[in-house]
Structure 1
Amino acid sequence: MDFHRAMAALRTALADSSRAQAAPDLVEQVLDLVRPSIGLAVPARSRNGAATDSVAGWYGGLPGLPDGVPWPEHRGRPMTLLAQLDCAALAPLLGPEWTLPRDGVLLFFSEEWFHADFGTGPGDDGCAVLHVPAGAPRRDAPAGTGVVPALPLVAAPVLAAPDYTEPELAALFSADPIRVMGLATEIRDRLPTVRHRVLGWLDSQLAGPAGHRPLLALEAEEGTAWGELVGVSFWIGGPDLTAGRFSRVRRVLEVA
């Protein structure tokens, strides 16, 4: 993604907006918070079992785990793999805006019943994100572990804008709630919505842990059994994101 070119196109698209014309100072302050992201989707043809090209990862499935890497557990019970992302396929989509490892695979696990306490510590023991080498041998899930049917994911770079409820807009919103709400909503409406997203902002109004940013947001797909939950997002602290540390990732759960 050429982030600067994409931002220029967004500014051009806002040129006919009466809200933007009436508050150019506010527009720039909201646009300063727009972030690059990657949208992920399951191609329609893959749902019928057809082959899919340019796979950038998998929703569910079984992980490739090197020998000696244990399957993540929560209180002695193996977690379920929700997604696996191919860093080498995703990194070129964002270029210099990509802050994650440029090779290997990221594996996203969560305890199956979403019962884990978030606690007061820096991490969340009900989820785990592992960065493993590409090509590690696929490992069968431990007995009794929920396995989400594997669905291929294709990827495309997209801009992501904050909702007016985000803490980063709190000061502006307090000073001018009507205009900030209108501007933030209009900017988000002019950007594509995606089913699953890497980095950026959430498409919902869910608040994440203080000091954290979205790492991966997932919606329920066919074959998952989340009950009333419709989305799971993984969040990472700013310094950990910069350093590529995944030991303190936390989750946010979205209920219908």
Structure 2
Amino acid sequence: MDPRTSLTALRDFCAEHLGPGLAERVAGLARPGFALTPAAPDQAAGHSRFGGDPLLEPGVPWPTCEGLPMSLLAVLDTDALPPWLDGLLPPGTGLLNFFHLDTESEQSDPAAWDVVRELGVRAPEAGCVVAARSRLAVETGPPTGASVFAPVAWQAEPGFVLPDLFDDAWDTLGLGLGADHDAVQAFTYELHNGLSVPGEPRSEDLAFGRPVFPTGSAPLLPDGEEAESYHHLLQLSDKHEWSIGGDGGWMHWSIPTRALRAGDFTQAIPTPDIW
């Protein structure tokens, strides 16, 4: 299904539950995303995968936090994603390498826990995204102290993602109190409890789209930042060899939308969901 057809199906679905006026506003909150699921090598979205070694341009330093090396958690090959992002990324963005300081796996350096305990797992310094142009990127072995996780290739299935029940995005509708507010609230609870949305990417690992918050939390952004000024980059569930611990323990990275459109991934930050 192409993006236009999928978005029309989503609007029709919302209209069935909310009526045409509200449906258009609610469907306007949907963002294109990609369900990431294990794939055979010939079905993978380019170099997209969980784990393995990062793909970096020669000379790019390995990211660190307080002098400790971060660990590579995932690679997203944006050049190989289906063309659903509608100009959100600059052409030739290439590969995105997602790093975070490992504190929970059997490989983790005990000193990392001391750092995260002081800074907090949500600290921008504890994670980063390093972009690399596909034609220049090479697999880069880790320094001592970085964890390496078994690679799992991903395929990427596109679709549109509505906000999670706990996402502040619903507040941007400005519904106040009344029938419209009650209708949308009932709709979001139905979505949360399993109402099937046509064409929605179905995977606990997700590229772009909107984040899910199994702990009942919300986007954890720097103080004073508006959630809708950020764009979701990647969601990793707690089903992997790596974990951030706690209850829930789903990892996310987000980036200011203006930085995403400019291709400035130095502004990407970890926005985990954890209690």
Scaled to the shorter chain, the TM-score interval is 0.7 to 0.9
Per-residue deviation, residues 166-194 of structure 1 (Å, max 9, x unmatched): 33322535324421212234467333332
Separation in structure 2 between the aligned mates of residue 30 and residue 13 of structure 1, nearest angstrom: 11
Moved more, 143-152 or 166-175: 166-175
Separation in structure 1 between the aligned mates of residue 28 and residue 240 of structure 2, nearest angstrom: 36
Query: In the alignment, which residue of structure 1 is the partner of 2:35?
Result: 39
Query: In the alignment, which residue of structure 2 is the partner of 1:47?
Result: none
Query: In the alignment, which residue of structure 2 is the partner of 1:190?
Result: 196
Per-residue deviation, residues 191-214 of structure 1 (Å, max 9, x unmatched): 333221111111325224223221
Q: Note the C-alpha offset of 1:142.
A: 0.7
Separation in structure 2 between the aligned mates of residue 163 and residue 222 of structure 1, nearest angstrom: 22
**Structure 1 residue identity aligned to 2:144:** A
Q: Note the C-alpha offset of 1:146.
A: 1.1
Separation in structure 2 between the aligned mates of residue 118 and residue 244 of structure 1, nearest angstrom: 27
**Structure 1 residue identity aligned to 2:26:** V
For the 8 Å contact 2:32–2:158, the answer to whether it is kept is yes
Query: In the alignment, which residue of structure 2 is the partner of 1:172?
Result: 174
Residue 255 of structure 1 aligns to a residue whose secondary structure is coil
For structure 1, list consecutive stretches of 5 or more residues without a partner in the other structure.
44-50
Query: In the alignment, which residue of structure 2 is the partner of 1:71?
Result: 62
Q: Note the C-alpha offset of 1:118.
A: 6.7
Q: Note the C-alpha offset of 1:88.
A: 1.6
Separation in structure 1 between the aligned mates of residue 83 and residue 187 of structure 2, nearest angstrom: 28
Residue 5 of structure 1 aligns to a residue whose secondary structure is helix
Q: Note the C-alpha offset of 1:27.
A: 2.1
Residue 169 of structure 1 aligns to a residue whose secondary structure is helix
Distance of aligned partners of 1:95 and 1:66 in 2 relative to their CA distance in 1, 3 Å threshold: closer
For the 8 Å contact 1:38–1:156, the answer to whether it is kept is yes
Query: In the alignment, which residue of structure 1 is the partner of 2:107?
Result: none
Per-residue deviation, residues 110-156 of structure 1 (Å, max 9, x unmatched): 11127273799xx8111111111226332211112111211111111
Query: In the alignment, which residue of structure 1 is the partner of 2:110?
Result: none
1:242 maps to which of 220, 241, 261: 261
Distance of aligned partners of 1:81 and 1:101 in 2 relative to their CA distance in 1, 3 Å threshold: farther
Query: In the alignment, which residue of structure 2 is the partner of 1:215?
Result: 233
Count of matched residue pairs: 242
**What TM-score, normalized by structure 1, do the two folds share?**
0.82
Instruction: Give me the CA root mean square deviation.
Output: 2.7
For structure 2, list consecutive stretches of 5 or more residues without a partner in the other structure.
104-112
Matching of residues 28-107 of structure 1 within 5 Å: 28-43=24-39, 51-56=40-45, 57-90=48-81, 92-94=82-84, 96=86, 98-99=88-89, 101-107=91-97
For the 8 Å contact 1:41–1:155, the answer to whether it is kept is yes
Distance of aligned partners of 1:98 and 1:14 in 2 relative to their CA distance in 1, 3 Å threshold: same
Per-residue deviation, residues 15-71 of structure 1 (Å, max 9, x unmatched): 5x4x424xx32222111111111111124xxxxxxx432212010110122321110
Separation in structure 2 between the aligned mates of residue 163 and residue 195 of structure 1, nearest angstrom: 13
**Structure 2 residue identity aligned to 1:20:** L
Sequence identity of aligned pairs in percent?
26
Query: In the alignment, which residue of structure 1 is the partner of 2:108?
Result: none
Per-residue deviation, residues 200-239 of structure 1 (Å, max 9, x unmatched): 1113252242232211111133422433353110011121
Q: Tell me, yes or no, if structure 1 residue 20 matches structure 2 residue 18.
A: yes
Matching of residues 101-250 of structure 1 within 5 Å: 101-113=91-103, 115=116, 117=119, 124-134=124-134, 136-170=137-171, 172-176=174-178, 177-186=181-190, 189-191=195-197, 192=200, 193-204=202-213, 205=216, 206-209=218-221, 210=226, 211-228=229-246, 230-250=249-269
